[in-house]
């Protein structure tokens, strides 16, 4: 087990692509345990065999089509008209867009992919440093799994037999807290550093711009209505909503705005496939790594230690948060939930912690893990979209991570935030 | 060498259109579900098209392995290039080249275990289409084979064009 | 002396019948081998979902598993005969047959594809939960129902006039809540364990399928064990299964009580018209199982004897 961990660190350091590192590091452990290497093929193929994961390519594709087909510019134009007159307004609008997409999307990386492909180029155009724009996208993507619907919450609830409906409700206020905290951070930072367009407050002019932008964006604004109405009206699931979004964007781009040409399509489609593959190949090989962790019962050992070391619920929660944070750095979120939730949840109940509150903590914490290096699916999406290296993303990302951790602590120690809407 | 690279890029051009087609199949599959479930009954038919879901899922599996292989042609898979940039330039490049060679070796292993697994999957049928899983599982060995090809292509291109193999995401030719 | 560690995987919780029987098996084998063989039970799909467990058993990546028969159908198409609707007269008859010689006969089908069938385990009697109650065929017509993706399940409900809709199990709660699907076919214990009672109001006791589960060993791993260890495992299986079955039957009854307590409306329709309407589906379903007709004849004969 230790050999596998060391091998992984060495390979990460030697710039072996993360996907391959996750597949190669377990070789030693598999050999030691006499497990046939064929499990590598099996784990990689099986982890991808999921209808839910399809949301990722579809939101990537929707984003690209919206970008090329003229929807994105219209939506961003509207966002800019609405809040662009504040310093950092477009960045804050990015977070708002993420919060809005979160009500459609159950996945963090899909949210990051959808808003990222639109907003990173646009923000770069408007005087934001590219790594800063990418950091906003990476860190606001996680709101996608905190504001319902949420795939990790479904997995958590099913794994520990808790109410999915309650867990969804519990995610709303924490999601808003995180969103508004990040918007505040962006406005403060942009004001201090002069990012974005300068402030110009002229009410009459703003109202006129907003009206014009709304008219221009009307059909684009219809998309979330169709998608949301579709989900809550019982026409399709969140994954299917993703494909409907992509096709609606395609129709608009080809036949209404006419900014998309048929001969652009092969490039857009193949490019979307590639971006999705770059993300999903990591999911595939992370499952090999997770398999080895499971066979060594490593998470169980740590969890047993956690419950032995303290009698205070407050310290228990702090330890759990620390533990999950470290797990979240290295492990894929769903795998971590599936392996850890059944071990941690009973311990939490023994400490007298509300199970729904605890579920919220676990999901928010592991959602932060999607933004922490070295294994963070939102980082990969943001890197892939912005074409930046991960280390270029790190400096601007740190304040966002600090904000997320602060929010996580508030969510942990103020149970009412999670439970107010449930009761 | 240039001829080899030209050959590799001919395969990659084909790969691009295959990937585009796979995404179309995924879209048709996922959209087909919605249409069949919701739109078709409006016209008084009672249908179900469970096969659409399998088409979408299986296309995605192929997309991932072929797409990752395609991305390797320009070194676009995500890696942490922190250390390779911190050490002296030639050492960093050497480490990166070694990293890619180890990936190629791993891909050869993937071909072996992938073929073995595909053979085991041959008798396993998908529930709806009745498709042998061999056709799905072959995505891994085929993808791994193309990965080896494109790792070679990428390193070859770096040598011919004198490019730096590190920090791969800067070199996107998308 | 060296301790051999065997891994047993299953997809249910630590409160499930699988886990109870697996834990008992582990205890008994430990005793019989004087601690030389330890079976570690991995719950909650920790070693993978059902399809992956089957592949793992075939490749030798795991040693033991509990699995459900429909997942095995993809690999052993003849087992599809057990997905025929209303194959058995009732739950008790089905249990009797599966634990008897007929069950033994069916276990031999696992051998050729790299698995050793150690014993059939508990049956999940599955009925329809819905928000659109029905008592006859006309009312059931057009309902969008989530079923297991196997011909025996899909074709049955299609023949009844419903619209089988593929939905991942993890997405089913939301799908029922939003009305993406109107109904689903599930066992009563699943309704409690996975909280479907929160989003549905009616449980129509169609008892369509008696879904069997089974304890399986990887053939390559099992045959590699010393003969005395193999014998110790085989000798421990019956007691572990008996304990697990008793646990499940208690659990099942408690689930029914709980379903009623939660205010779910239980509907018991006349099943004769449903069975008649589903009968034509037998042809389509058996078309997928090469030796299906012969096996069906054997099962019918065993039913007549019992
Ligand atoms: Na969401
Ligand atoms: Na992480």
Q: Is the pLDDT of residue C13 over 90?
A: no
3-state secondary structure (DSSP) of residue B165: coil
Most confident segment among A218-227, B90-99, C192-201: B90-99
Q: Phi then psi for C214, rounded to 5 degrees?
A: -150, 145
Tell me if A158 and C43 make a contact (CB, 8 A cut-off). Answer: no
Q: Three-state SS string across A290-351, please?
A: HHHHHHCCHHHHHHHHHHHHCCCHHHHHHHHHHHHHHHHHHCCHHHHHHHHHHHHHHHHHHC
The Cα A68–Cα B145 span in angstroms is 33
Residue with tokens 């839910």: A52
Contact B80, A388 (CB under 8 A): no
Decide if C262 touches A, using CB distance below 8 A.
no
The Cα A389–Cα C247 span in angstroms is 55
Average pLDDT value for chain C: 93
Token pair for residue B162? Answer: 């004198």
Task: Give residue A329's Cα distance to chain centre.
Answer: 14
3-state secondary structure (DSSP) of residue A84: coil
Has this prediction a pTM greater than 0.90? no
Q: How many CB atoms lie within 10 A of CB A282?
A: 26
Which of the residue ranges A78-87, A174-183, A347-356, B130-139 would you say has the lowest mean pLDDT? A78-87
Q: What percent of chain B has pLDDT over 90?
A: 61
Residue C69: band (very low, low, confident or very high) from pLDDT cuts 50, 70, 90: very high
Q: Is the pLDDT of residue A215 over 80?
A: yes
Angle at CA of residue C244, ends C239 and C245, nearest 5°: 100
* A145 closest CA partner among A323, A380, A378: A378
Q: What percent of chain B has pLDDT over 70?
A: 89
CA distance C96 to chain A (A): 31
What lies within 8 Å, CB to CB, of A350 at 6+ separation is A307
Contact A296, A89 (CB under 8 A): no
Q: What is the pLDDT of residue A136?
A: 93
Ligand 1 ion: Cβ-proximal residues, 5 Å cutoff: A 102, 144, 147, 149-150
A196 or A189, greater pLDDT: A189
What lies within 8 Å, CB to CB, of C301 at 6+ separation is none
Most confident segment among A291-300, B64-73, B79-88: B64-73
The Cα A27–Cα A36 span in angstroms is 10
A91 or C81, greater pLDDT: C81
Contact C171, A154 (CB under 8 A): yes
Burial of A24 (0-12, 13-18, 19+ CB in 10 A): buried
Tell me if A57 and B60 make a contact (CB, 8 A cut-off). Answer: yes
Contact C121, C244 (CB under 8 A): yes
Q: What is the pLDDT of residue B174?
A: 29
When pLDDT is averaged across residues C85-110 and rounded to a whole number, the result is 96
Q: Phi then psi for A343, rounded to 5 degrees?
A: -85, -40
Question: Which residues in chain B are contacts of C73 at CB distance < 8 A?
Answer: 127
Most confident segment among A270-284, A358-372, B42-56, C47-61: A358-372
Range of B150's domain? 2-173
- Residue in chain A closest to C181 (alpha carbons) equals A234
Q: How many CA atoms lie within 13 A of B49 on its CB side?
A: 19
Tell me if B37 and C113 make a contact (CB, 8 A cut-off). Answer: no
What lies within 8 Å, CB to CB, of A287 at 6+ separation is A43, A44, A46, A47, A332, A335
Q: Is the pLDDT of residue A198 over 80?
A: no
Tell me if A274 and B26 make a contact (CB, 8 A cut-off). Answer: no
Note the pLDDT tens digit of each residue in B156-167. 999 998 888 886
Tell me if B70 and A20 make a contact (CB, 8 A cut-off). Answer: no
- Ligand nearest to the CA of residue A145, numbered in listed order: 1
Q: What is the pLDDT of residue A140?
A: 87
Question: Could you tell me which residues are beta bridge partners of residue C64?
Answer: C8, C217
* Inter-chain CB pairs, A–C, below 8 Å: 90
The Cα A21–Cα A4 span in angstroms is 10
CA distance B3 to chain A (A): 25
Beta strands C37-42 and C115-130 are unpaired
Average pLDDT value for chain A: 84
Between positions 155 and 214 of C, the ones with CB within 8 A of A are 167-171, 173-175, 177-180, 193-195, 198-199
Q: What is the pLDDT of residue B83?
A: 84
Provide ipTM, 2 decimals: 0.82
Best probe of the A interface among C167, C170, C193, C194, by most A CBs < 10 A, is C170
Q: At what angle do helices A265-295 and A108-125 cross, to 10 degrees?
A: 130
Note the pLDDT tens digit of each residue in C122-181. 999 999 999 999 999 999 998 999 999 888 999 999 999 998 887 777 678 878 887 888
When pLDDT is averaged across residues C22-37 and rounded to a whole number, the result is 96
Q: Phi then psi for C217, rounded to 5 degrees?
A: -110, 150
User: C-alpha distances in angstroms, C108 versus C78, C79, C187, C198, C294?
Assistant: 11, 11, 27, 41, 15
Ligand 2 ion: Cβ-proximal residues, 5 Å cutoff: A 328-329, 369, 372, 375-376
Note the pLDDT tens digit of each residue in A378-409. 888 888 888 888 888 999 999 999 999 999 99
The Cα C20–Cα B101 span in angstroms is 48
Tell me if A236 and C180 make a contact (CB, 8 A cut-off). Answer: yes
A366 or A336, greater pLDDT: A366
Q: Three-state SS string across chain C, please?
A: CCCEEEEEECCCCCCCHHHHHHHHHHHHHHHHCCCCEEEEEECCCCCCCHHHHHHHHHHCCCCEEEEEHHHHHCCCHHHHHHHCCCCCCCHHHHHHHHCCHHHHHHHHHHHHHCEEEEEEEEEEEEEEEECCCCCCHHHHCCCEEECCCCHHHHHHHHHHCCEECCCCHHHHHHHHHHCCCCEEEECHHHHHHCCHHHCCCEEEEEEEEEEEEEEEEEHHHHHCCCHHHHHHHHHHHHHHHHHHHHHHHHHHHHHHHHHHHCCCEEECCCCHHHHHHHCCHHHHHHHCCCCHHHHHHHHHHHHHHC
Residue B170: band (very low, low, confident or very high) from pLDDT cuts 50, 70, 90: very low
Beta strands C183-186 and C202-218 are unpaired
Say which of B20, B82, B116 has its CB closest to residue A273: B20
Tell me if B120 and C151 make a contact (CB, 8 A cut-off). Answer: no
When pLDDT is averaged across residues B26-40 and rounded to a whole number, the result is 82
Task: Give residue A415's Cα distance to chain centre.
Answer: 23
Best probe of the A interface among C8, C46, C65, C200, by most A CBs < 10 A, is C46
Cα dihedral across residues C155, C140, C148, C101: positive or negative:
negative
The Cα A97–Cα C140 span in angstroms is 42
Question: Could you tell me which residues are beta bridge partners of residue C129?
Answer: C184, C203
Contact A244, A236 (CB under 8 A): yes
Which of the residue ranges A257-261, B140-144, C215-219, C263-267 would you say has the lowest mean pLDDT? A257-261
Q: Is the pLDDT of residue A101 over 80?
A: no
Token pair for residue A153? Answer: 């919450």
CA distance C245 to chain B (A): 29
Q: What is the pLDDT of residue A167?
A: 83
User: C-alpha distances in angstroms, C127 versus A54, A317, C182, C265?
Assistant: 30, 41, 14, 13
Q: Is the pLDDT of residue A232 over 70?
A: no
Most confident segment among A161-165, A388-392, C292-296: C292-296
Q: Dihedral, CA atoms, A29, A30, A33, A38, nearest 10 degrees? A: 180
3-state secondary structure (DSSP) of residue B27: helix
User: Which of the other chains make 3 or more beta carbon contacts under 8 angstroms with chain C?
Assistant: A, B
Q: Three-state SS string across B125-142, please?
A: ECCCCCCECHHHHCHHHH
Residue with tokens 């730096």: B164
User: Which of the other chains make 3 or more beta carbon contacts under 8 angstroms with chain A?
Assistant: B, C
| Count of the separate structural domains present in chain B | 1
């Amino acid at each position: 087990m230790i050999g596998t961990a060391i091998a992984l660190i060495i390979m990460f350091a030697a710039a072996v692509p993360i996907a391959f590192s996750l597949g190669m590091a377990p070789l030693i452990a598999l050999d030691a345990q006499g497990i046939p290497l064929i499990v590598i093929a099996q784990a990689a193929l099986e982890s991808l065999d999921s209808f839910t994961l399809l949301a990722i390519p579809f939101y990537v594709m929707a984003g690209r089509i919206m970008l090329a087909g003229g929807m994105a510019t219209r939506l961003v134009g509207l966002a800019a008209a609405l809040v662009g007159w504040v310093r950092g307004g477009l960045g804050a609008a990015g977070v708002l867009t993420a919060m809005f997409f979160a009500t459609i999307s159950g996945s963090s990386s899909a949210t990051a992919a959808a808003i990222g492909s639109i907003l990173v180029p646009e923000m770069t155009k408007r005087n934001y440093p590219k790594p800063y724009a990418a950091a906003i996208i990476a860190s606001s993507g996680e709101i996608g799994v905190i504001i319902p619907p949420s795939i990790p919450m479904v997995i958590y609830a099913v794994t520990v037999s808790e109410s999915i409906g309650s867990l969804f409700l519990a995610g709303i206020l924490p999601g808003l807290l995180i969103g508004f905290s990040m918007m505040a951070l962006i406005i403060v930072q942009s004001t201090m550093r002069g990012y974005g367009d300068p402030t110009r407050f002229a009410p009459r002019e703003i109202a006129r711009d907003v009206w014009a932008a709304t008219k221009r964006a009307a059909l684009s604004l219809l998309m979330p209505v169709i998608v949301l109405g579709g989900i809550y009206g019982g026409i399709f699931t969140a994954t299917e909503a993703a494909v409907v979004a992509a096709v609606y964007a395609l129709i608009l781009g080809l036949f209404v705005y006419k900014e998309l040409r048929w001969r652009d399509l092969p490039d857009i489609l193949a490019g979307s496939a590639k971006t999705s593959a770059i993300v999903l190949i990591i999911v595939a090989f992370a499952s090999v790594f997770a398999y080895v962790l499971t066979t060594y019962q490593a998470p169980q050992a740590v969890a047993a230690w956690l419950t032995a070391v303290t009698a205070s619920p407050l310290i228990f929660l702090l330890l759990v948060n620390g533990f999950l944070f470290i797990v979240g750095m290295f492990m894929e979120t769903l795998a971590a939930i599936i392996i850890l939730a059944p071990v941690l949840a009973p311990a939490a109940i023994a400490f007298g912690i509300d199970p729904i509150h605890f579920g919220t903590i676990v999901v928010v914490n592991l959602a932060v893990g999607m933004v922490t290096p070295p294994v963070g699916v939102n980082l990969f999406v943001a890197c892939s979209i912005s074409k930046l290296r991960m280390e270029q993303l790190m400096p601007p990302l740190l304040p966002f991570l600090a904000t997320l951790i602060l929010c996580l602590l508030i969510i942990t120690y103020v149970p009412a935030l999670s439970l107010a809407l449930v009761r | 060498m240039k001829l080899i690279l030209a050959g590799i890029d001919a395969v990659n051009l084909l790969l691009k259109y295959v990937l585009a087609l796979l995404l179309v199949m995924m879209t048709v599959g996922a959209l087909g579900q919605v249409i069949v479930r919701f739109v078709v009954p409006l016209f008084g038919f009672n249908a179900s098209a469970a096969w659409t879901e399998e088409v979408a899922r299986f296309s995605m599996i192929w997309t991932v392995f072929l797409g990752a292989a395609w991305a390797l042609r320009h070194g676009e898979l995500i890696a942490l290039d922190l250390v390779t940039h911190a050490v002296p330039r030639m050492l960093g490049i050497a480490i990166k080249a070694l990293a890619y060679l180890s990936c190629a070796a791993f891909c050869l292993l993937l071909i072996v275990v992938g073929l073995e697994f595909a053979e085991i999957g041959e008798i396993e049928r998908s529930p709806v289409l009745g498709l042998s899983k061999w056709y799905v599982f072959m995505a891994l060995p085929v993808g791994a084979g193309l990965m080896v090809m494109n790792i070679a292509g990428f390193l070859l291109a770096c040598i011919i064009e004198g490019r730096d193999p590190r920090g791969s995401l800067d070199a996107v030719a998308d | 002396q060296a301790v051999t560690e065997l891994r047993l995987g299953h997809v249910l919780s630590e409160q499930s019948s699988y886990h109870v029987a697996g834990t008992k098996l582990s205890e008994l084998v430990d005793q019989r081998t004087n601690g030389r063989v330890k079976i570690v039970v991995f719950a909650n799909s920790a070693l993978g979902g059902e399809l992956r467990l089957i592949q793992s058993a075939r490749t030798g990546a795991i040693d033991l598993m509990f699995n459900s028969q429909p997942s095995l159908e993809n690999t052993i198409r003849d087992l599809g005969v057990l997905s025929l609707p209303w194959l058995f007269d009732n739950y008790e008859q089905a249990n009797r047959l599966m634990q008897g010689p007929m069950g033994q006969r069916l276990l031999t089908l696992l051998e050729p594809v790299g698995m050793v069938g150690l014993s059939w385990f508990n049956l999940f009697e599955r009925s329809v939960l819905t928000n659109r109650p029905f008592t006859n065929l006309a009312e059931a017509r057009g309902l969008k129902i989530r079923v297991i993706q196997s011909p025996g399940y899909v074709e049955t409900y299609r023949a009844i006039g419903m619209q089988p809709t593929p939905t991942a199990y993890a997405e089913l709660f939301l799908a029922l809540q939003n009305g993406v699907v109107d109904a689903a076919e599930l066992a009563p214990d699943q309704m409690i364990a996975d909280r479907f009672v929160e989003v549905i109001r009616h449980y129509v006791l169609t008892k369509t399928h008696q879904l069997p589960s089974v304890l399986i060993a990887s053939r390559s791993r099992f045959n590699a064990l010393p003969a005395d260890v193999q014998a110790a495992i085989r000798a421990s299986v019956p007691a572990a299964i008996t304990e697990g079955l008793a646990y499940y039957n208690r659990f099942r009854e408690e689930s029914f009580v709980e379903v009623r307590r939660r205010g779910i409306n239980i509907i018991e329709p006349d099943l004769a018209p449903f069975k008649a309407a589903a009968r034509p589906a037998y042809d389509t379903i058996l078309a997928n199982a090469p030796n299906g007709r012969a096996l069906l004849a054997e099962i019918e004969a065993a039913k007549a004897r019992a």
